[in-house]
């Protein structure tokens, strides 16, 4: 098991490093964490023996403190005068031994960072040798700000990371103004986290330390990696066995994974009990919040009746009931439901249907599938074929089937002199010209109506979608609307097509369909498309497609329950004020120079970061600015996931205004911190 070591250094000598180490170790032990201490170099005094005794450690004193000099002087001098050089090999051996033994090892320095150990080595070099993060101990009182900030600067200059700063009340009595205000001032000027202030302790028995310090000192902050043994085990197994999607595993292995164990409402809760606002609805799926009683109940009840039975040759109750409900709420003109279990499949099914439809009815030359630039329809090869995002799709170029990609602008970066929305319509005009010339070879066009999500929340100007529908109608090309992301209320209407009263021939649904509970997808079709498959058995015009779990009853039960919540709780009506609120507060992001554009439709929003606002020059993707911001925002208890340089905001529809505010404030601070720091 990999343990972690933390180096405890002081802003000066006699600031109470040893007391602080004792307090931290006592608190960690109290939480069931196997904690040891290490004092590599000691000159005079009995710090190591003191810690060994109070913490009841069974290690040899020579292991806890391998290098000892009698005189209370700076180590470089004390060891020289004693004519025993500091034995680095012994330090390394002892360190390894203790590190292997304990889950957490607290290493106490001698004096401050710039104390020479010998003529080649300072304490800060020793810290680098151990490759640990640093906790700085500072004494409360006049002078603390200066001493603390000097040390903070020095730690950073040495390329070391600060876990936090801890203050020590070294004298009894009431705290005066400096004592009361030191921590806040140092946190603000030094941009470091505060672990708390150790009160003046007369009694050093562990029970009284726990009594005085538990809850006063933040040991969560102290431990970068999880303190909970269960978390540690899961972390190790995760790294050993799990391959994460869309993830460079090399980066993953160097980070501490966040392992989610529970969720309630808008919050995810990790294995250590920390709560995080779910700012992207668990990847755009959650609708009514986590642990929604009505859906929980429906799934549990369904488990008691039937968990799975096939739709190949049989039917099942929830699948039938859900199909009826979906058709009732879907845009007009749709009358049949074909189930699958993920968004990519729902699109792939739509494409196969559209293609076979024309074959079945004898228009065999209509085979072309049109899609747009910047489109994203999923990751299976069929859905990648209609994808327009180079980063995701180009490696697979030789595996995919040929399609027709129609150019479409990204709505933010327009050429000189071009204006929105006219510019977008120039593209629609070109699309129309293409259709006029080629419609006899075109089977279908697949689009993400109004919001191209994965491309970075590109939002079309009003009227574009309607024009696209008109073009498809005029030239008899089937319109496939992929509402995998936009469906189920996300844009402020149940379906994005409703904004422009568009009736696609085929509609793809997934993500939010079960309220974010279970994997389910549906491809809805018009009667006309469906009728194109209704022939004699012998004609072999059947739709030859089906997945093993098609129409799974548990998934369908969750979806029915989710739709019931929409009705019973008037979700869409209640959404309007939240959308307004979100929109109003998103404006503050324009105060940040690094924010180029803020886009929003309903509860889907994107904040695009730019290296230069005037030229709209993007951050180089290698800078991972989005990733960094989303990592930073976690520290404020919010989970987000970026799309390149775009920070996506897509909370559950059930989020409250107060939670929206919390999420946006945290995002704002995170952008500030990362951009200032870069
Ligand atoms: C997420 C998404 C998909 C793919 O859905 P999966 O369930 O991940 O396969 C397809 N289309 C759009 C628009 C999406 O946002």
- Within the chain, what is the greatest distance between any pair of CA atoms? 103
Tokens of 127: 């810290």
**Please, which pLDDT band fits residue 257 given cuts at 50, 70 and 90?**
very high
Shortest CA distance to 208 belongs to which of 18, 22, 33?
Answer: 22
Strands 162-168 and 133-139: parallel
User: What fold does the segment set 258-288+572-676 form as a domain?
Assistant: 3.90.1150
Structure tokens at 380: 């299976």
In this structure, how many other beta carbons lie within 10 angstroms of the beta carbon of residue 342? 19
Q: What is the total residue count of the chain?
A: 678
Tokens encoding 615: 């030229």
Query: Which is nearest to 592 in space by CA: 655, 657, 656, 678?
Result: 678
Confirm or reject: Cβ of 377 under 6 Å from ligand 1. yes
Q: With a 6 A CB cut-off, is 452 part of the ligand 1 pocket?
A: no
Contacts of residue 641, Cβ cutoff 8 Å, sequence gap at least 6? 280, 283, 630, 648
pLDDT for the residue numbered 603: 98
CATH number of 4-223: 3.40.50.300, 3.40.50.1010, 1.10.8.60, 1.25.50.10?
Answer: 3.40.50.300
Is 171's pLDDT higher than 90?
no
Please give the average per-residue pLDDT across 32-43, as a whole number.
92
For residue 492, count CB atoms less than 10 angstroms from its CB and return exposed for 0-12, middle for 13-18, buried for 19 or more: buried
Q: Which of 284, 339, 378, 482 to mutate to test the pocket of ligand 1 (most atoms within 8 A of CB)?
A: 378
**In angstroms, what is the span from residue 482 Cα to ligand 1's centroid?**
8
Half-sphere exposure of 223 (CA within 13 A, CB side): 25
Minimum CA distance residue for ligand 1 atom 5 = 343
With CA atoms as reference, report the closest residue to 289 among 281, 301, 280.
281
Structure tokens, 154: 């020095």
Look at residue 413 and tell me whether its pLDDT is greater than 60.
Answer: yes
Q: Residue of the nearest CA to atom 10 in ligand 1?
A: 377
**What's the count of helices (H) and strands (E) in the chain, helices before strands?**
25, 28
Tokens of 635: 């520290």
What are the angstrom distances between the C-alpha of 672 and each of 442, 463, 621, 675?
48, 36, 19, 5
CB of 510 sitting under 6 A from ligand 1: yes
What pLDDT score was predicted for residue 455?
94
Per-residue pLDDT band at 225 (split at 50, 70, 90): low
DSSP string covering 68-105: EESSSS-HHHHHHHHT----HHHHHHHHHHHHHH-SEE
Q: Is the pLDDT of residue 677 over 70?
A: no
Q: How far apart are CA 413 and CA 300, in angstroms?
A: 49
Question: What is the atom index within ligand 1 of the atom nearest the CA of 511?
Answer: 7
Report the alpha-carbon distance of residue 385 to residue 670 in Å, rounded. 36
Predicted local distance difference test score (pLDDT) of residue 211: 86
Could you say which of 2.160.10.10, 3.40.50.11540, 2.30.110.10, 3.40.640.10 is the CATH number of the domain covering 293-568?
3.40.640.10
Mapping DSSP onto H, E and C, the string for 483-500 reads CCCCCCCCCCCCCHHHHH
| CA of residue 407 to ligand 1 center, whole Å | 21
Residue 227 scores a pLDDT above 70 = no
What's the gap in Å between 510 CA and the centre of ligand 1? Answer: 7
How far apart CA 344 and CA 380 sit, in angstroms, is: 6
Ligand 1 pocket mutation, candidates 346, 510, 517, 522, criterion most atoms within 8 A of CB: 510
pLDDT-derived band at 605 (thresholds 50, 70, 90) equals: very high
Helix, strand, coil distribution of the chain in percent, nearest 5: 45, 20, 35
**HSE-CB of 417 using CA atoms within 13 angstroms:** 0
- Can you give the pLDDT at residue 678? 53
Q: Where exactly are the structural domains of the chain?
A: 4-223, 258-288+572-676, 293-568
Average confidence (pLDDT) over 229-235: 88
- Contact criterion met (CB below 8 Å) for 249 and 234: no
Mutational test site, ligand 1, from 375, 450, 454, max ligand atoms within 8 Å of CB: 454
Residue 254, C-beta contacts closer than 8 angstroms, at least 6 positions apart: none
d(CA 304, CA 308): 11
Is residue 343 lining ligand 1, measured as CB closer than 6 Å? yes
Average pLDDT over residues 101-130: 91
Give yes or no for a contact between 123 and 112, defined as CB atoms under 8 angstroms apart. Answer: yes
Q: What is the pLDDT of residue 254?
A: 82
Q: Strand 442-447's sheet: what is its strand order?
A: 334-340, 521-526, 506-509, 478-482, 442-447, 368-372, 404-406
Say if residues 23 and 198 touch (Cβ distance below 8 Å).
yes
Closest atom of ligand 1 relative to the 521 alpha carbon = 7
Q: Answer whether residue 107 shows pLDDT above 90.
A: yes
**8 A C-beta contact, residue 515 and residue 562:** yes
Q: For residue 532, give the nearest of 335, 339, 354 by alpha carbon.
A: 354
448 lines ligand 1 (CB under 6 A): yes
Beta strand pairing call for 506-509 and 275-278: unpaired
Q: What pLDDT shows up at residue 224? A: 65
* pLDDT value of residue 82: 93
d(C-alpha 213, C-alpha 608), whole Å: 44
**Number of other CB atoms surrounding residue 418 within 10 Å:** 12
Given a contact cutoff of 8 angstroms between Cβ atoms, the answer to whether 367 and 443 are in contact is yes
For ligand 1, whether the C-beta of 376 sits within 6 Å is yes
DSSP label at 372? Answer: E
Mean pLDDT of 100-120: 91
Q: According to the model, what pLDDT value does residue 1 have? A: 36
Counting ligand 1 atoms within 8 A of each CB, the residue from 511, 555, 606 with the most, and so the one to mutate, is 511
> Can you tell me the distance from the alpha carbon of 179 to that of 668, in angstroms, rounded to the nearest whole number?
31
Span from the CA of 377 to the centroid of ligand 1 (angstroms): 5
Residue 572 pLDDT > 60: yes
Nearest to 227, CA basis, from 161, 273, 167, 268: 273
Centre of ligand 1 to C-alpha 342, Å, is: 7
Residue 344 Cβ inside 6 Å of ligand 1? The answer reads yes
Separation of CA 47 and ligand 1 centre (Å): 60
pLDDT higher than 60, residue 2: no
Interhelix angle 464-474/422-438, rounded to 10 degrees, is: 10
454 Cβ inside 6 Å of ligand 1: yes
For residue 324, is pLDDT > 70? yes
Pocket test for ligand 1, best of 343, 374, 447 (most atoms within 8 A of CB): 343
Average pLDDT (369-391) is 93
Name the average pLDDT for the chain. Answer: 93
Ligand 1 within 6 A of 640 CB?
no
| Per-residue model confidence as pLDDT tens digits over 503-528 | 999 999 999 999 999 999 999 999 99
Which residue, among 343, 369, 372, has the nearest Cα to 355 in the 3D structure?
Answer: 369
Q: Is the CB of 347 under 6 A from ligand 1?
A: yes
Give residue 187's pLDDT band: very low, low, confident or very high (50, 70, 90): confident
Same fold, 258-288+572-676 and 293-568: no
Closest atom of ligand 1 relative to the 454 alpha carbon: 15
The string of DSSP letters for 490-533 reads TTSSSSGGGGGT---SEEEE-GGGGSSSS--EEEEEEHHHHHTT
- H or E stretch at 230: helix 229-241
Distance CA 306, CA 339 (A): 18
For residue 484, report the distance from its CA to the centre of ligand 1, in Å: 6
- Got the DSSP string for 447-467? E--SEE-TTT-EEPPTTHHHH
Whether the per-residue pLDDT at 112 is higher than 80: the answer is: yes
3 state DSSP class of 634: helix
Range with lowest mean pLDDT among 129-133, 329-333, 551-555: 129-133
State the sign of the Cα–Cα–Cα–Cα dihedral 638, 641, 645, 649. negative
572 Cα–ligand 1 center, Å: 23
149 Cα–ligand 1 center, Å = 49
Q: Would you say the CB of residue 484 lies under 6 angstroms from ligand 1?
A: yes
Pocket flag, ligand 1, residue 485 (CB < 6 Å): yes
In the chain, % of residues over pLDDT 70: 99
Tell me the best of 280, 339, 344, 522 to mutate to test the pocket of ligand 1, counting ligand atoms within 8 Å of each CB and taking the most: 344
pLDDT tens-digit readout, 622-635: 899 999 999 999 98
Give the gyration radius of the chain's Cα atoms.
31
- Candidates 345, 372, 377: which one to mutate for ligand 1, based on the most atoms within 8 Å of Cβ? 377
Which SS3 state, helix, strand or coil, does residue 163 take? strand
Query: What is the distance between the alpha carbons of residues 198 and 345, in angstroms, rounded to a whole number?
Result: 58
Mean pLDDT, range 128-156, rounded to an integer: 92
Q: What is the mean pLDDT of residues 28-35?
A: 83
Closest ligand 1 atom number to CA of residue 383: 10
Q: Which of 521, 491, 551, 553 is nearest to 287 (CA)?
A: 491
Give tens-digit pLDDT for 452-488. Answer: 999 999 999 999 999 999 999 999 999 999 999 999 9
pLDDT at 315 over 50: yes
Per-residue pLDDT at 124 exceeds 80: yes
What is residue 251's predicted lDDT score, i.e. its pLDDT? 86
Phi-psi region of 14 (alpha: psi -120 to 50; beta: other; left: phi over 0): left
Euclidean distance between CA atoms 194 and 164, whole angstroms: 5
- Per-residue pLDDT, averaged over 550-556, amounts to 98
453 lines ligand 1 (CB under 6 A): yes
Distances (CA, A) of 79 to 85, 123, 124: 6, 14, 18
pLDDT tens track for 575-585: 999 999 999 99
Across the range 221-245, mean pLDDT stands at 84
250-259, 491-500, 557-566: the lowest-pLDDT one: 250-259
How many angstroms separate the alpha carbon of residue 299 from the centre of ligand 1? 23
Percent of the chain scoring above 90 in pLDDT = 78
As given in the structure block, the two tokens for residue 668 are 């704002």
């Amino acid at each position: 098991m990999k343990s972690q070591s933390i180096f405890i250094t002081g802003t000066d000598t006699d600031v109470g490093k040893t007391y602080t180490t004792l307090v931290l170790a006592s608190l960690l032990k109290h939480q069931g964490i196997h904690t040891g201490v290490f004092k590599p170099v000691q000159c005079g005094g009995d710090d190591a023996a003191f810690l060994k005794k109070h913490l009841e450690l069974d290690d040899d004193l020579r292991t806890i403190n391998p290098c000892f000099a009698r005189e209370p002087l700076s180590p470089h001098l004390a060891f020289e005068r004693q004519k025993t050089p500091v034995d680095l090999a012994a330090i390394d051996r002892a360190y390894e031994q203790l590190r292997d033994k304990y889950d957490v090892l607290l290493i106490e320095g001698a004096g401050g960072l710039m104390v020479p150990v010998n003529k080649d080595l300072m304490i800060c070099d020793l810290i680098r040798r151990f490759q640990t993060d640093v906790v700085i101990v500072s004494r409360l009182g006049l002078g603390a700000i200066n001493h603390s900030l000097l040390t903070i600067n020095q730690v950073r200059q040495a390329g070391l990371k600060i876990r936090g700063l801890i203050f020590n009340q070294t004298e009894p009595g009431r705290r005066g103004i400096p004592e009361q205000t030191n921590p806040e001032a140092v946190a603000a000027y030094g941009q470091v986290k505060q672990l708390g202030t150790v009160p003046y302790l007369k009694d050093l028995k562990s029970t009284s330390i726990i009594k005085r310090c538990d809850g006063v000192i933040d040991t969560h902050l102290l431990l970068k990696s999880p303190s909970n043994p269960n978390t540690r085990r899961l972390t190790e197994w995760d790294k050993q066995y799990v391959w994460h999607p869309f993830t460079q595993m090399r980066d993953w292995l160097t980070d501490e994974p966040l392992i989610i164990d529970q969720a309630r409402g808008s919050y995810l809760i990790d294995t250590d009990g920390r709560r995080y606002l779910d700012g992207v609805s668990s990847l755009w799926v959650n609708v009514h919040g986590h642990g929604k009683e009505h859906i929980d109940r429906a799934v549990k009840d369904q488990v008691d009746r039937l968990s799975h039975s096939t739709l190949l040759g049989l039917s099942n109750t929830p699948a039938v009931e859900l199909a009826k409900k979906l058709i009732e709420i879907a845009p007009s003109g749709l009358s049949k439901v074909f189930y699958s279990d993920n968004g990519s499949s729902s699109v792939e099914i739509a494409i196969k249907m559209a293609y076979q439809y024309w074959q079945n009815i004898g228009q065999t030359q209509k085979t072309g599938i049109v899609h747009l630039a910047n489109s994203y329809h999923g990751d299976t090869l069929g859905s990648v074929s209609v994808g327009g995002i180079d980063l995701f799709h180009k490696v697979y170029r030789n595996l995919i089937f040929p399609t027709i990609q129609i150019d479409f602008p990204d709505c933010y970066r327009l050429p000189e002199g071009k204006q929105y929305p006219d510019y977008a319509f120039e593209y629609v005009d070109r699309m129309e010209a293409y259709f006029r010339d080629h419609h006899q070879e075109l089977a279908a066009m697949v689009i993400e109506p109004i919001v191209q999500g994965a491309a970075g929340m590109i939002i079309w100007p009003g009227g574009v979608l309607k024009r696209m529908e008109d073009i498809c109608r005029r030239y008899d090309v089937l319109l496939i609307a992929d509402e995998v992301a936009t469906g189920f209320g996300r844009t402020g209407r149940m379906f994005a097509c409703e904004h422009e009263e568009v009736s696609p021939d085929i509609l793809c649904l997934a993500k939010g369909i079960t309220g974010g509970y279970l994997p389910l997808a549906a491809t809805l079709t018009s009667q006309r498309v469906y009728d194109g498959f209704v022939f004699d058995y012998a004609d072999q015009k059947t739709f030859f497609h089906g997945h093993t779990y098609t129409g799974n009853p548990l998934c369908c039960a969750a979806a029915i329950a989710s739709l019931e919540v929409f009705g019973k709780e008037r979700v869409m009506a209640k959404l309007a004020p939240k959308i307004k609120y979100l929109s109003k507060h998103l404006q503050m992001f324009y105060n940040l120079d690094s924010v180029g554009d803020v886009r929003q439709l309903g509860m889907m929003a994107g904040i695009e970061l730019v290296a230069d606002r005037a030229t709209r020059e993007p951050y180089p993707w290698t800078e991972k600015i989005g990733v960094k911001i989303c990592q930073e925002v976690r520290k404020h208890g919010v989970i987000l996931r970026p799309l390149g340089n775009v920070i996506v905001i897509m909370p559950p529809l059930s989020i409250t205004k107060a939670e929206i505010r919390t999420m946006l404030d945290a995002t704002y601070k995170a952008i500030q911190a990362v951009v200032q720091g870069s």
